[in-house]
Structure 1
Amino acid sequence: MPFGANLLPDGGARFRLWAPAPLEVSLRFEGQAAALRVAAPVSADGWRELVLPEAQAGDHYQWLVRADDGEQAVPDPASRSNPQGVFEPSVLCDPLAFDWPATEAEWRGRPWFEAVCYELHPGCFTPEGTLDSAAAQLPRLQSLGVSCVQLMPLASAPGRFGWGYDGVLPYAPHPAYGEPEALKRFVATAHALGLMVMLDVVYNHFGPSGNFLPLYAPGFFAERHHNAWGKAINFDGEHSGPVREFFIHNALYWLEEFRLDGLRLDAVHAMKDNSSPDILEELSLRVREQFAGRQVHLVLENDSNDARRLPGLPQPGAYDGQWSGDFHHTLHVLLTGETEGYYAEYKDAPLAQLARCLSLGFARVGEPHLNAEEARAANPRRDATEPVPLPATVNFLQNHDQIGNRAFGERLATLVPDEAARRLAAGLLLLSPPVPLLFMGEEWGSDTPFLYFADWQGELQDIVREGRRREFAHFSAFADAGTRARIPDPCDEATLRRCRLDPAAVPQQPAAQAWWLFHQRLLAWRARVLTPRLLQLRHGAHEAELLGGQGLLLRWRFDDGAELLMAANLGAVPLALPPIAALGDNHYAGDGFTLGEQTETLLGPWAGRWRWAHDETE
């Protein structure tokens, strides 16, 4: 890597820091062979570079920056390991020391159309909250039918716990989950089971504490671009070259050193870049070039639903998938009746919008979701009309945001007591062509909350605690200050502990095991019947029809003339089916799947029917 500290083949190490500010910078080195302080003069292009022949793996080091108000010790922003926290020294690592199993050399990944994703937070997935304990549960995920494990961000941030989206050392895995080798063990275990591993990365901002870049490298931040976190990352202004390289090499680092199978880029609508190629295109180009012999997947989160980077097949400069919040939002409105906040965009025609999600990929396009009604009225999001390759959309019923952004972190098991409704929702997710994503615990119907937690200290702790309660004040359920006061304190470790799951206990819990087996059954049908056909899915040829005010009929078409028909009743009374969706229709040809009470011509409340047919016009 051009950034950070790297061991040299003949011994010693090179230390590099991009610090163009006109300040005195030196390296404090505490090694096994010597303790040194060495001045690091700046080069014409802003780099500070030192070579120490005595440096070895395991040695500690910090950069010292002298400004007008005194000297500040800062970690290496490209540190591979900061085991004592982001305010303490970095550790020089040997990235080649890990002994990968021999079978790893044969792993080339899996195609994206086979993806069934499972999002987990390493600190909450098990009682121990470590990557090693999470790795012990991977055989259960493989037997469930999952093919891709997506880890929430691992970048080191201040404190003992957090979601991971406020990292300040994006190359250093958070030490609470284990040393960097723990992530390699997790990946090796997953690959041995045939599972892909993806990582959520945050390239749109740094966290509010522990970020020293503005002190010695102010060029990391743009003067003309802003996002929800303040000044945006500088991807297109003066001095943006090293900034772009910092994040591109971060992507290459995770994929190469840890042999990950892909990355999910958080909130790319907040990555402001007017250059060409922009940072997202260049990152994809570099990744595709570097890993041409592997199936490496790149996925976006983009609240505006901009689909121009989704060609449907892996291409340099493009992306494999993009999260579809629309699918979640429409179904959430139908399941819960909630219409406040960003759900207001879906309250008028949720069934029609769900139909667009399942046939076109997205329901709404345009500006990102806005919470203020006035702002939404001024910047309306238009209905989607252009089709997106359906396997390029990632659908979900629950994820870290949609649960954790609720005041009390409630899951669907709490919000939707009707089990038939939840079963049908799972069917819509898992038995349709888009890539499905499950959130940890969803497969066994967990009602354990997933709350927002962050181990901030000092003044920031009070700001976050009160800000969390204030942001819910415009919701009717939290108009009363007493109700807002009951919102859990994000900075209390007890909040984290309330979120921890115990997947090993599921087989001993009959209700949880029943839900687990239900999801396994759906995923087995997907793997056996639907997935092998997805490469033949015909782009833009799908039809959606509303059945009364509570039903949907979907026709997904394939190149061989086959169609997958889905009829779903998302209401509390029986629904009459048109002839094409009835069991007795003579077009029936293949393997079917049913959920809920039904007769030949009726679907009971919250029931669904899937079956294969052939179009006689083909």
Structure 2
Amino acid sequence: MTEAPRGRFPAHDSPPGATYLGDGRTAFSVWAPLHTQIDLSLLDPTPRSVPMQRDPFGYWRVTLDAVPPGTRYFYQIDGHEQRPDPASRCQPEGVHGPSAVVDPAYTWHDAAWQGIPLRDYVVYELHVGTFTPEGTFDAIIPHLAHLKELGISAIELMPVAHFPGERNWGYDGVYFYAPHTAYGGVDGLKRLVDACHQHGMAVILDVVYNHFGPEGNYLWSLARPFFTDRYHTPWGDAINYDGPESGPVRHFIIANALSWFREYHIDALRLDATHEIYDYSPIHILDEMADEARKLAQQTGRPAYLIAEGYAPRLVTPRAKGGHDLDAHWADHFHHALHVVFTGERLGYMAAFAGLEHLALAYRQAHVFTSDTHTETDPPLAPMPNARPDQFVVCFQNHDQVGNRPVGDRKGALLTFEQLKLAAGALLLAPFIPLLFMGEEYAEPAPFQFFTDHSDPDLVRGVREGRKQEFAAFVAAHGVELPDPQDVATFVRSKLNHELRSGGRHKVLRDLYRELLRLRRELPALHAEALTDLETVVDAAAGTLCLHRRNGPHHVWIALNFAATPVALAPPAGSWELLLDSAAARWDDPATPATRCDPDLLAAHSVKMWVGNGS
């Protein structure tokens, strides 16, 4: 591939767009390599047009006085159409309206914050728009004390980059540098991050570097080489990371990643669908991003973690062994194996998972590498020999595994109360970084459904028809009506009711999550630093799976009964003390107290944990 030397592009600490320099002075930069004239069209206070100057690499620039924060502007292309700034920091009138200059100044209160190690992360994924009635960054802040008390150490925000309309999952973002104004914009996000750090909690931001959304993406007209038809993604042409003119594309993306760390004090980025990022250049975009993030972390003294969505071990394998050396990645096989054990559902990619043996594999190596759980591009692989538990993020619910079900039903709609308690133990006593999906800890009954707010009628029609085709078999089999993504009621149905966590079975479940997280923090045996510090014992006929976890002289024995009947099961020889029994009276549903079984038995759908020294 041919491209200009990367070192001659702007430094990664000089992102494109409008940079406010203070005293009313603003610098503008936009990459538009195929055009012969770009003018800056200022809309207020007095409309005027200012020619921009082109450099040898296709960037157009101008720096002006008397352009204060709030000034709205377009770029005019070749004397004709006007377009918003693809690197806009604020879109006050939506994806098709003018961009606005933003003052980045903010008085931070987190000078003492130095981050926390990944091994201490307990992640709480949330969608800003549905987490509270207000649906804003600021509205999350009053809930942070509750999350901290629960045992959460990091919140993960689904994508906030400006998307069409006011409601969306966030994966249709088209202005990667602009936190959505409906959520509270630049300052709102900074206030939330600042508050999290004051509570001792990290912030992970979900970012999408594999595609742009279908509405409001004006890079197509300003910088067509930003995309390539050499690779195809589910969303169309791929982002051009390795072809001609890819240098400015890489700069746009990496500068964006670093801006979240630098300007917003974000602690970690979750990189969406990395398997749809195509780059066959000598230095993969993920490698370059990781290098730049680590440089920034060294400069600031704060972590700048990169966590990938993707199951390929190469994501976290050291560079010297052919990997990208990212900090961690989502290990969805754990979810799939656990879901199949609980529900028996084996639709789609779940068909490759079956039985407790697969779940035991997931506990031992995070992934389930069999002939059925790989693709041509990711062949079966052996477990990573030196893998650390904190390189894997696992869950039992997340936005995908809930929201991509036909009606967005949560696990609470599929499992009994006893099974939900068992699931909590199965997740939180695993060695990996656990992720909870908002409301999971108290069995939030509201669904999390797929919702959009597009303005293009053809796009709205296409989304509706696409959902109908995807779930046609489900609709035919169950006679249900799919929720309309464009209907505001679909969005409203997905909002949480936090009052539930204070009473009844919801409070009991939340208290169990809190107790499990306390034990996770305090027991040395649950702090093991290698996957080899865990052994599994499976009895498929009885429906039980036992975990023996150890850290030096410290041991725990965890027994999980997935069967509907009690079983006789105890730890191996040694000195053991029972610390947890999910079937104990304190964890009963107040409305329907459980029938007690022999205390020497492992109750149906329950988890027990003993601490001791083993033998």
- Which TM-score applies when normalising by structure 2? 0.89
1:593 matched residue in structure 2: 580
Change (3 A) 1:366 1:78: farther
Question: Once the 2 structures are TM-superposed, how far is the Cα of residue 513 of structure 1 from its aligned partner?
Answer: 1.9
Write the distance in 2 (CA, Å) between the matches of 1:381 and 1:607: 36
Instruction: Check the 8 A contact 2:524/2:554 in 1, yes or no.
Output: no
For each residue in 1:303-339, what CA deviation from the matched residue of structure 2 results, as whole angstroms up to 9, or x when unmatched?
x433442569xxx962222111111111111211211
Q: Indicate whether 1:306 and 2:306 are aligned.
A: no
Q: Which residue type is aligned with residue 358 of structure 2?
A: Q
Q: Is the aligned partner of 1:79 residue 2:88?
A: yes
Query: Aligned pair 1:323/2:330, yes or no?
Result: yes
- Which residue of 115, 118, 125 maps to 1:119? 125
What residue is the counterpart of 1:91 in the other structure? Answer: 100
For the residues of structure 2 that align with 1:368 and 1:79, how far apart are their CA atoms? 41
What SS is found at the alignment partner of 1:177? coil
Deviation of residue 236 (structure 1)?
Answer: 1.1
2: CA distance, partners of 1:114 / 1:358: 18
Distance of 1:492 and 1:257 partners within structure 2:
35
Is the 2:15–2:256 contact (alpha carbons within 8 Å) kept by the matching residues of 1?
no
Question: In structure 2, what is the equivalent of residue 502 of structure 1?
Answer: 497
- Note the C-alpha offset of 1:278: 0.7
User: How far apart, CA to CA, are the structure 2 residues paired with 1:2 and 1:161?
Assistant: 27
Letter aligned with residue 566 of structure 1: I
SS at match of 1:609: strand
Amino acid at match of 1:294: R
CA distance in structure 1 between the partners assigned to 2:453 and 2:369 by the alignment: 36
Q: What's the CA shift for 1:543?
A: 2.1
Structure 2 CA distance for aligned equivalents of residues 548 and 157 of structure 1 = 47
Sequence identity, in percent?
38
How many angstroms apart in 2 are the aligned matches of 1:383 and 1:413?
34
Question: Is this contact kept in 1: 2:312–2:378, CA < 8 A?
Answer: no
Over 3 Å counting, the alpha-carbon distance change for 1:211 and 1:367 in structure 2 is farther
Q: Verify: 1:546 aligned to 2:517, yes or no.
A: no
Q: Report if the CA contact (8 A) 1:26-1:63 is conserved.
A: yes
> Is 1:557 the counterpart of 2:550 in the alignment?
yes
1:14 pairs with 2:27: yes
Equivalent residue runs for 1:32-111 within 5 Å: 32=45, 34-66=46-78, 71-96=80-105, 98-101=106-109, 104-111=110-117
Letter paired with 2:500: V
Does residue 189 of structure 2 align to residue 183 of structure 1? yes
**Which segment drifts farther, 540-549 or 190-199?**
540-549
Instruction: Determine if contact 1:282/1:317 at 8 Å carries over to the other structure.
Output: no
Specify the alignment match of 2:7 in structure 1. Answer: none
The answer on whether the counterparts of 1:198 and 1:264 sit within 8 Å (CA) in structure 2 is: yes
Aligned to 1:431: 429
Q: Work out the CA distance in 2 between the residues paired with 1:311 and 1:424.
A: 35
> 1:381 Cα shift?
6.3
Q: Give deviations 1:1-41, integer Å, cap 9, x for gaps.
A: 23011123565111000000134321111234x43112224
SS at match of 1:355: helix
Question: 1:484-518 CA deviation, whole Å, 9 max, x = no partner?
Answer: 6x101001111101101132x23553232222222
Matches of 1:423 and 1:574, distance apart in 2: 15
Contact in 2 for aligned 1:537/1:556 (Cα 8 Å): no
Please name the residue that 2:5 is paired with.
Answer: none
**Matching residue of 2:303:** 295
Within 2, Cα distance between the matches of 1:24 and 1:365? 56
The structural deviation recorded for 1:456 is 1.5
Give the aligned length.
582
* 8 A Cα contact 1:310 1:389, kept in partner: no
**What corresponds to 1:356 in structure 2?**
361
Q: Would the aligned equivalents of 2:574 and 2:614 in 1 still touch at CA under 8 Å?
A: no
For 2:177 and 2:65, the matched residues in 1 are separated by 24
Partner of 2:151: 145
1:204-215, aligned counterparts within 5 Å? 204-215=210-221
Distance 1:420-1:310 versus aligned 2 partners, 3 A rule? farther
**Aligned to 1:570, which of 562, 572, 589?**
562
Structure 2 residue aligned with 1:373: none
Q: Give, in whole Å, the separation in 1 of the partners of 2:277 and 2:447.
A: 31
Provide the rounded CA distance (Å) in 1 between the counterparts of 2:426 and 2:69. Answer: 51
2:102 counterpart SS class: coil
Q: CA deviation at 1:365?
A: 7.1
Confirm or deny: 8 A CA contact 1:300 1:323 kept in the other structure. Answer: yes
- 2:206 pairs, out of 180, 200, 215, with 200
Equivalent AA in structure 2 for residue 331 of structure 1: L
Deviation at residue 445 of structure 1 after TM alignment = 0.8
**Are the counterparts in 2 of residues 362 and 384 from structure 1 also a CA contact under 8 Å?**
no
Q: After superposition, what is the alpha-carbon deviation per residue over 1:312-371, rounded to whole angstroms, capped at 9, x for unaligned?
A: 9xxx9622221111111111112112111111111xx331111111111111379987xx
- Identify if the C-alpha distance between structure 1 residues 555 and 25 changes in structure 2 by more than 3 Å, giving closer, same or farther: same
- Looking at structure 1, the residues matched to 383 and 24 of structure 2 have their Cα atoms a distance apart, in angstroms, of 60
Structure 2: distance between partners of 1:368 and 1:337 = 17
Residue 54 of structure 2 contacts residue 60 of structure 2 at CA under 8 Å; is this kept in 1? yes
Distance 1:255 1:121 in 2: 20
1:450 match: secondary structure = coil
8 Å contact kept, 1:561–1:614: yes
- Please state if 1:225 is matched with 2:222: no
Q: In structure 1, give the amino acid aligned to 2:254.
A: I
Alignment partners' CA distance in 1, 2:378 and 2:345: 20
Matched, 1:342 2:349: yes
Q: Distance in 2 between matches of 1:380 and 1:339?
A: 21
CA 1:311–1:359 in structure 2 vs 1: closer, same or farther (change >3 Å)?
A: farther
Partner of 2:39: 26
- Are the equivalent residues in 1 in contact too, given 2:315–2:324 (CA < 8 A)? no
SS in structure 1 at match of 2:397: coil
1:492 to 458, 478, 487: 487
Partners of 1:361 and 1:389 within 8 A in 2: no
Q: CA deviation at 1:605?
A: 1.1
Report the residue type matching 1:305 in the other structure.
A
Residue of structure 1 in register with 2:16 after alignment = 3
- Paired with 2:606 and 2:190, the residues of 1 have a C-alpha distance of 43
| CA–CA distance in structure 1, aligned partners of residues 95 and 378 of structure 2 | 41
* Paired amino acid for 2:178: A
The Cα of 1:275 is off from its aligned counterpart by 1.8
Distance 2:64 2:158 in 1: 36
- Looking at structure 1, the residues matched to 180 and 377 of structure 2 have their Cα atoms a distance apart, in angstroms, of 39
Q: 2:513 aligns with which of 506, 516, 519?
A: 519
Between stretches 17-26 and 106-115, larger displacement belongs to 17-26
Residues 563-614 of structure 1: per-residue CA shift (max 9 Å, x gap): 332221111122332651xxxx3243x6732222675753221122223343
Q: Which amino acid aligns with 1:593?
A: L
Query: Given that residues 31 and 56 in structure 1 are in contact (C-alpha distance below 8 angstroms), is that contact kept between their aligned partners in structure 2?
Result: no
Question: What pairs up with 1:599-610 in 2 under 5 angstroms?
Answer: 602-610=601-609
Deviations 1:238-270 (A, max 9, x none): 111111111111111111111111111111011
Structure 1 vs Structure 2 CA RMSD: 2.4
TM-score (norm 1): 0.89
Residue type at the aligned position of 2:368: A
SS at the partner of 1:586?
Answer: coil
Residue ranges of structure 2 left out of the alignment (5+ in a row) = 1-13, 585-596
Unaligned 5+ segments in structure 1 are: 370-375
> AA paired with 1:586?
G
Of 83-92 and 543-552, deviating more is 543-552
Aligned partner of residue 357 in structure 2, secondary structure: helix
What residue number does 1:407 align with?
Answer: 406
CA distance in 1, matches of 2:571, 2:396: 30
Contact 1:190 1:197 survives alignment (8 Å): yes
Runs of 4+ more than 4 Å apart: 365-369, 378-381, 597-601
Q: Residue 176 of structure 1: SS of its match in structure 2?
A: coil
Aligned AA (2:400): D
Q: Structure 2 CA distance, aligned partners of 1:602 and 1:460? A: 57
Q: For 1:179 and 1:10, how far apart are their aligned partners in 2?
A: 22
Q: Which residue of 2 aligns with 1:249?
A: 255
For the 8 Å contact 1:429–1:436, the answer to whether it is kept is: yes
Distance 1:591 1:384, change over 3 A: farther
Cα distance in 2 between the residues matched to 1:11 and 1:125: 37
